[in-house]
Structure 1
Amino acid sequence: MNAETFLMPSPYAAEVLGANAVRINHAFASGLRPPPRLSVAEWAERYREFPDDAPLPGPWVHSNAPYLVEIMEALSPHDPCSEIDIMKCAQSGGSASGENWIGYISDVAPGPLMYVQATITAAKDWLAEKFWPMVESTRRLNPEKGGTVMPKGARKGDGSTSLRVRFRRGGWMLIAGANSAATLRQHSIRYVIEDDLDQFPDNLDNQGSPEGMITARLRTYARQGISKRLGISTPTIKGGSKIGKRYRASDQRRFYLKCRHCGSRFDPVFSDLRWPDGRPDLVELVAPCCGVATAHWEKALMSLADGWIPTVEINGEKPPRVMAEQEVAYWKARDLQGRRRGYHITGLISAFMTWAQLAVGFVEAQGDVNKLKTWTNLDMGDEFEVKGDAPPAEELEILREQDWGDGQVPWGPSIFTLGVDVQGDGLYFEGLGWAYGLENWGLGKGFLPGPTDVPGEGAWALLETVATRTFVMPGGKAYGFDQICVDGGYNTEAAKAFCRRSPKRLVVFGRPGWSMPILGRGQAIAFELGRNYRRKARKKAGDDAHLVGTFGAKLSFYGALRVSIEYAKSGGKGPKPRGLVHFGRDATPDYFDMLTAESVVTEKVGGETRRVWKVDAGRQNHWLDCRVYNRAAAEALALDNLSEADWLAGQAQRYAAADPNQGDLVSMMNRPLSESAASSAAPETSAAAVAAGAAAAEVPNQDPDDDWIDNRDWSF
């Protein structure tokens, strides 16, 4: 081979080398080229698609929810805003904005991203139910169509996994849980989404708040001024809501509608909704600018993408609720003194909730403070302000009804429940009768002394006689308790053994938390949000427990006490309030003192404030706990879902005359729950007195055809 041959490549080789040089040139130029000036909102409208089974299938259209456009613009890299918080009602599209941002990051601005949910389980559920369906339906993201998201389980190990989604153009998304410190460590992150923020624990494994750990992960990119952080949540209790606290520290943007009649802009509030008496489904919005009634179908025409206006007060100035079109630019242009952006998506502006739904939900929540809290948080997207003081114990005296005789069932209740609070030295119990609207009567209470750690012995043997008593109805039929709820948080195995004796008995476990339902199921008995259980054995079958949300149950009960007192003071004028409370003559001052022993206080944990129920110093709350468990029993029977017609039919069935062959049950003495029920404290009650006051054996419902409650399937 001569030198000339060595230096000069063949024509074919020259062609290959030339093509390679062109590719290298393009690759080098692509590396130097800045990302296109494309906003998240533009990317969503150009590429985002929904599957056929979605509520709104097909491509993303801004006109479906114009209030989301500015939020997505703020998430774009060229916008200087580094923190965005969304306080929202449920199902309003806020989380969809975050999903669009993720798709945008994978395509236009790759970088390390962390998606954080309240628990790692919830984060994985979101990945399976929201993220991957978005990827599959969006061609720009679909890996099978050359999209920007790497497929799951790639052979070379560079694909996506259950906790890490990789992007083809660089970067990745880490899946994390606010209850798992391990998933929040060891990473430098540029982008973060904190979803369902109000469910984050206040203190994670005694290492501080999860939000503080997330801030540390962002530090490197925040120093360069290129980090982005998005917080999304429905609010909870005012003073303890994390998203509420962030929103108040922001520029507090509200969405102003444009009146179709006078052209003014106005910030809608719930009091703008008006409806005829008894017909909330016919609601209209009366515009505060010109007073013209507006139908719901006009809301879409009044919602413009430029409707967000910062409402934070600065130097004593804040925008008015109603303004002329010419004023909008002024209030948008004022100096916000570096405040981060905060958006409040209420049910009034949500594209996915009607004003009729809001009005109907509001009417249905009247009389139940816990339901009103849920409506305020989920439907309106507002924080709920708790009036945490119980009514004074002495005011409950007005609810005592002196005309009840021993062993008599007052006219009205037709369903019976029993709540049991377990202590080391005995069992507190109280029976309630229920009627329509959760109206309730106290039917006796007591304390059963004795050890509670051995199944079937001590106080449990005495409780067996109480649990098997019957109530004789006006027509002579006899019925036992329809549902019994027993506290399983103390001496759990003994409580389980007692409840296994009848399908009408249920072990329940009280848990704090404003967002927990009054009766739920599905968490391990020992589960506490934010606590580390990694070293414990996996939970056994059957450890999923019926959890009682004690915060909501107490809030509902104290609200019912207040309206019951007001109703009694008025002499019973007007319609009966929901949850009307009646006490028997065995209700003593000591009993009332226990019922009103708790209040809502503000405390600080890990630097975060929260609102919690606390027992007042020097007082006990055992009868209050019995009321909470009775409320859980009513929830287990779904009494709140029964219509007035259902109650009337059931009452007629149970109050009907007994079979003449049954004997004269009316003349039989209907023994009280406890001979000692005259004292609420009653720790001195003897076992003999209790046994003498209860039925000796379980008596089934006397009417074999009664399937109103007992034959239903109450499984969860």
Structure 2
Amino acid sequence: MKTIPRALPIIAGIFAAVFSPPAPITPSAWANQHFFLPDGERKSQLIDLSRTPHLVEPLDALGPDAPDNEIAVMKSAQSAFTTLLQIAACHSIDRDPCDMMIVQPTDSALGDFNSQKLGRALELSPIMRKKVFPQTARAGNASKTYEKKFSPDCSLFLSLASSTADLRSKTIKKALCDEIDEYPADLNDQGDPLDMIRARQISFLRSGTWKRAYFSTPTIKGASSIESKFEAGDQRRWTMVCPHCDDDNLQFEWSEKNRHFEFDPKPPYRARYIPPCCGVVIEGWQKFAVYATGRWVATAPGEGRYKSYHFDALSSPFVPWDEIAKEYVAAGDNPIKLKAFWNLTLGLPFELKGEAPEFDRLLARREDYKQGHVPARGLLFVMGADVQHTGIWVEGVAFASNGESWSVVHDFLEGDTTDHKGGAFAKLEKLYDQKFPDAFGGTRLVDCMAIDAGDGGRANQVYRFCRGRARAFAIKGVSGWSAPAIGTPIQVDIKLSGKKIKKGATLWPVGTWALKATFYSNLVKDGRRAGAEQDPDGYCHHHAGCDERYFKQQTAEYLKTTVRRGRTVKEWQETGPNHLLDCRIYAMAMAEYLGLSRLTADQWAAIAKERGVPQVLQQPDLLAPDAVKIAAAEPAPVRPLLTRRPKKRGMTIHSRGVF
């Protein structure tokens, strides 16, 4: 009996150890013990955050013991913040069970994140395998593809930013919002998706336990959601120690005016950084050691400001400086490529200029090349068509390897458009089959023809016209700055002989916004007609048949900044009829489809041979303006590049191989 009192503390200690909650642990410390990388160079290995110290502070801010409710991260690509998002969710599953939501911008992004990242991370971690119910569990506790259940009453929801059902039906404590610049500005006329997400967390406002994080590469300056989130915070930047003078305020920054990041214009580039503190060169091989000395420093602290972060490839431990130099040189002055460089490499919003030149200035610089003839350097010959009720507007455009373009033919094909075989469509068929003379005595068919099947009420006619014509593409313009020039096609229904055929035609989305910015950027460039030594890359040539009506239509839009439901957006605004502008944009999409900005010098040379270009000109500088003034070769008809419909996105099948 006397031993019982002494046993009670021991028994009490055992019960306390069993039933007491585990000791608090930060998400970063937890990750070093339990998180296995789902992809990358160290795939399936336990993470070591000492290799990526820039992740630690923002990750720990999402832990339950941190005072922060909200953070924002404006980042470049390949900066590991998607890994941070996964760790934050997994740590919460283990140490702070609650209903959570991870929001992705698109179906494809959501599917890839689930299958290639989060799903693998859950499978690799022993503790996650114990916590998260499998999809084969009992019905009440079973996880679903986009709902990971980890206790009888807690779930991690994988949601879509474009789904009102996903964003309106759940009460959540934590929201992790990925790539928010790709979220729609107004979801089905019901508001900003970010506002809907905030509304899901109202129940936790009083307790102050809610967490919300925004991650994104930025898009357009002045209209980027993550830019506004970053600027509303305390604007933290990765700050390092100079290896030469020990100054501890070194920040790798990109500046067009006072450039500290230097490199040679050609490989191997020898990229280096000249720090403002002492001016002693930091070589590329020193970058990663300097990065490891860094810490986050708020550059705009203030009351009420949450933690916001900017991180880019200049500081990233994954990207060598020579690779950054290579990407910048490759971008040149192409607005689409420059935007990608600023967004994905620098993690900065791109300042877009959307002003077209005055039409009379364009009239004055017309040239005397033959209308209806494909010029010598126009290796790609494409056409865009805009279908209206009373006819079809068209423009055929030739492109050189450096993006220079020539308007070859434009017209309004007057006629009825209710019959895909008659009226204006019969005239369009003649253009499709027409053999256009080229500069070397041969003839050319249009390589690709894009026909708008959008909102004009003639979609079915366009589908039926394109059906069976390998070089004709039914397209639909897509708004938004993140939409690619030519997207993933979808199968659509078509009515044929009075019957509805499921998935009977192919519809290709065209990202018109960025293409218009590129076109206007090229249209304002001055060339030889304005006294320049040579025509620049992307320069737009026009023949004498391009009249006032033509130029007024091609300059009939401008970039307007508006506020929609509280969010600033930049969008194109029409000032008058713009059919020929649409035709030009559709033609540009076809050129991109054929590989205008992707083909190598060897591939261009192969196309030149296919086009019938004389052997003497088939060199890397084969079609320089002065070089093409030689006599034409023997006449030879030339086949179009596209000889049969590609079966896979991103693959263009040419008459001589796949590019």
Q: Which band: TM-score by shorter chain?
A: 0.7 to 0.9
Paired residue for 2:206?
223
Deviation at 1:360, TM superposition (A): 1.2
Give CA deviations for 1:448-474 in whole Å, capped at 9, x if unaligned: 111212211111111112222112234
Counterpart secondary structure, 1:641: coil
1:279 Cα offset (Å): 3.2
Amino acid paired to 1:421:
D
Q: Does 1:208 align with 2:182?
A: no
For 1:309, give the aligned amino acid: V
State the alpha-carbon separation in 2 of the partners of residues 359 and 501 from structure 1: 45
- The one-letter code sitting in structure 2 at the alignment partner of 1:354 is P
Q: What's 1:188 paired with?
A: 171
Q: Which SS does the other structure have where 2:522 is aligned?
A: helix
Label 1:524 to 1:231 Cα distance change in 2 as closer, same or farther (>3 A).
Answer: farther
> Once the 2 structures are TM-superposed, how far is the Cα of residue 229 of structure 1 from its aligned partner?
0.8
Which of 251, 272, 297 is matched with 1:267 structurally?
A: 251
- In the TM superposition, what is the alpha-carbon distance from 1:206 to its structure 2 partner? 2.6
The structural deviation recorded for 1:434 is 2.0
Kept after mapping to 1: 8 A contact 2:446/2:640: no
Q: In the alignment, does 2:568 pair up with 1:609?
A: yes
Alignment correspondent of 1:113: 100
C-alpha change, 1:272 and 1:497, in structure 2 (3 Å) is same
1:428 touches 1:448 (CA, 8 Å); kept in 2? yes
Q: Does 1:139 align with 2:122?
A: no
1:339 maps to 2:305: yes
The one of 644, 650, 672 equivalent to 2:607 is 650
Farther off after superposition, 473-482 or 545-554:
473-482
**Counterparts in 2 of 1:34 and 1:407: CA distance versus 1, 3 Å:** closer
Aligned residue for 2:597, secondary structure, equals helix
What do residues 459-495 of structure 1 show as CA deviations (whole Å, max 9, x unaligned)? 1111112222112234432221111111111311111
Give the direction of change, closer, same or farther, for the CA distance of 1:192–1:26 in structure 2 (3 Å limit). farther
- Residue in 1 aligned with 2:533? 573
Please give the residue correspondences for 1:14-25 in structure 2 after superposition, counting only pairs within 5 Å: none
| Whole-angstrom distance in 1 between the partners of 2:439 and 2:189 | 59
Describe the shift of the 1:434–1:289 C-alpha distance in structure 2 as closer, same or farther (beyond 3 A): same
Distance 1:125 1:434, change over 3 A: closer
**Cα distance change of structure 1 residues 299 and 362 upon mapping to structure 2, 3 Å threshold:** same
The CA distance in 2 between the partners of 1:365 and 1:346, in whole Å, is: 17
How far apart are the structure 2 equivalents of 1:465 and 1:23? 93
For residue 524 of structure 1, report the CA deviation from its aligned partner: 6.9
Q: Give, in whole Å, the separation in 2 of the partners of 1:223 and 1:310.
A: 28
Residue 292 (1) aligns with residue 280 (2) = yes
1:456 is matched with 421
Letter in 2 for 1:614: Q
Question: In the alignment, does 2:495 pair up with 1:495?
Answer: no
CA contact (8 A) 2:334 2:538 kept: yes
Deviates more, 1:81-90 or 1:156-165: 156-165
CA distance in structure 2 between the partners assigned to 1:123 and 1:475 by the alignment: 51
Q: Equivalent of 2:233, from 250, 265, 268?
A: 250
Opposite residue 72 of structure 2, the aligned amino acid is D
Q: Is the 8 A contact 1:417 1:633 kept in 2?
A: yes
Matched, 1:40 2:27: yes
**How far apart are the structure 2 equivalents of 1:191 and 1:286?**
42
Does 1:101 pair with 2:88?
yes
Q: TM-score, normalised by structure 1?
A: 0.80
1:454 alignment partner AA: D
Cα separation, partners in 2 of 1:127 and 1:645, compared to 1, 3 Å:
closer
Could you say which residue in structure 2 is the equivalent of 1:234? 217
8 Å Cα contact 1:518-1:552 kept in structure 2: yes
Question: Which amino acid in the other structure matches residue 162 of structure 1?
Answer: T
Is the alpha carbon distance of 1:710 and 1:278 closer, same or farther for their aligned partners in structure 2, counting shifts above 3 Å? Answer: farther
Alignment of 1:97-496 (within 5 A): 97-119=84-106, 122-142=109-129, 147-168=130-151, 171-264=154-247, 265-270=249-254, 271-279=259-267, 281-304=269-292, 307-312=295-300, 336-401=302-367, 403-405=368-370, 407-489=372-454, 490=456, 491-496=458-463
Shift of 1:383: 0.7
The structure 1 residue matched to 2:545, chosen from 562, 586, 611, is 586
Q: Matched residues in 2 for 1:201 and 1:138: separation?
A: 34
Are the structure 2 counterparts of residues 67 and 544 from structure 1 closer, same or farther at C-alpha, using a change threshold of 3 Å?
farther
Asked if the contact 1:85/1:230 (under 8 Å) is kept, the reply is: yes
1:712–1:116 Cα change, 3 Å? closer
Q: Does 1:557 align with 2:544?
A: no
Change (3 A) 1:715 1:578: farther
Where 1:141 maps in the other structure, the secondary structure is: helix
Which protein has greater RCO, CA pairs closer than 8 Å, 6+ apart?
Answer: 1
For 2:79, the equivalent position in structure 1 comes to 92
CA shift for structure 1 position 127: 1.9
- The residue identity in structure 2 corresponding to 1:572 is A
Task: Report how far residue 388 of structure 1 moved.
Answer: 1.9
Quote the offset at 1:140 in angstroms: 2.2
After superposition, give the CA deviation of every residue in 1:128-174 in whole Å (9 maximum; x if it has no partner): 221110011122212xxxx3222222025213222321224973212
C-alpha distance 434-121 of structure 1, shift in aligned 2 (>3 A): closer
For these two proteins, the number of residue pairs brought into alignment is 610
Aligned to 2:84, the other structure's residue is in SS state helix
Letter in 2 for 1:277: P
Calculate percent identity across the aligned residue pairs.
Answer: 31
1:28, CA displacement in angstroms?
A: 7.1
Is the alpha carbon distance of 1:186 and 1:412 closer, same or farther for their aligned partners in structure 2, counting shifts above 3 Å? Answer: closer
CA separation of 1:525/1:550 partners in 2, compared to 1, >3 Å: closer, same or farther?
A: farther
Match for 2:586 among 612, 629, 638?
629
CA distance in structure 1 between the partners assigned to 2:206 and 2:453 by the alignment: 51
Q: Which moved more, 1:55-64 or 1:374-383?
A: 55-64
Residue 278 of structure 1: how far off its partner (Å) = 2.4
1:71-121 CA deviation, whole Å, 9 max, x = no partner? 112112221111011111112111111111111111112122111122466
AA aligned to 2:441 is: G
Provide the C-alpha distance between the structure 1 equivalents of 2:353 and 2:98, rounded to a whole number of angstroms: 46
Q: 1:550 to 1:27 in 2, by over 3 A?
A: farther
Letter in 2 for 1:589: E
Please, which moves more after superposition, 284-293 or 381-390?
Answer: 284-293
For the Cα contact (< 8 Å) 2:470–2:645, is it kept in 1? no
Code of the residue aligned with 1:608 in structure 2: it is R
CA distance in 1, matches of 2:149, 2:46: 24
State the one-letter code of the partner of 1:422. Answer: V
1:511 aligned residue? 478
- Residue 365 to residue 157, structure 1, CA distance change in 2 (3 Å): same
Q: Secondary structure at the match of 1:484?
A: strand
| Cα separation, 2, equivalents of 1:453 and 1:711 | 27
- Encode CA deviations 1:44-84: one digit per residue, 9 max, x unaligned: 11221125875554111123221111111211222111101
Deviations 1:330-383 (A, max 9, x none): xxxxx6212111111112112222222221111111121111112211121111
2:595 paired residue number: 638
| TM-score, normalised with respect to structure 2 | 0.86
Q: Distance in 2 between matches of 1:499 and 1:169?
A: 53
Partners in 2 of 1:118 and 1:409 — Cα distance? 42
In structure 2, the CA distance between the partners of 1:288 and 1:169, relative to structure 1 (3 Å rule), is farther
One-letter amino acid of the structure 2 residue matched with residue 67 of structure 1:
H
Which residue in the other structure is 1:545 paired with? 507
| Residue deviations 1:9-49 (CA, integer Å, cap 9, x gap) | xxxxxxxxxx9x99999667765x45523111111112211
Return closer, same or farther for 1:304/1:459 CA change in 2, 3 Å cut-off.
same
Segments of 5+ residues of structure 2 without an aligned counterpart are 1-6, 494-499, 616-634, 650-659
Aligned equivalents of 1:48 and 1:61: distance in 2?
Answer: 9
2:131, 2:150 within 8 Å by CA — same for their partners in 1? yes
Q: Quote the Cα distance in structure 2 between the aligned partners of 1:28 and 1:454.
A: 81
Give the C-alpha shift of residue 446 in structure 1.
0.7
> Is contact 1:237-1:383 (8 Å) kept?
yes
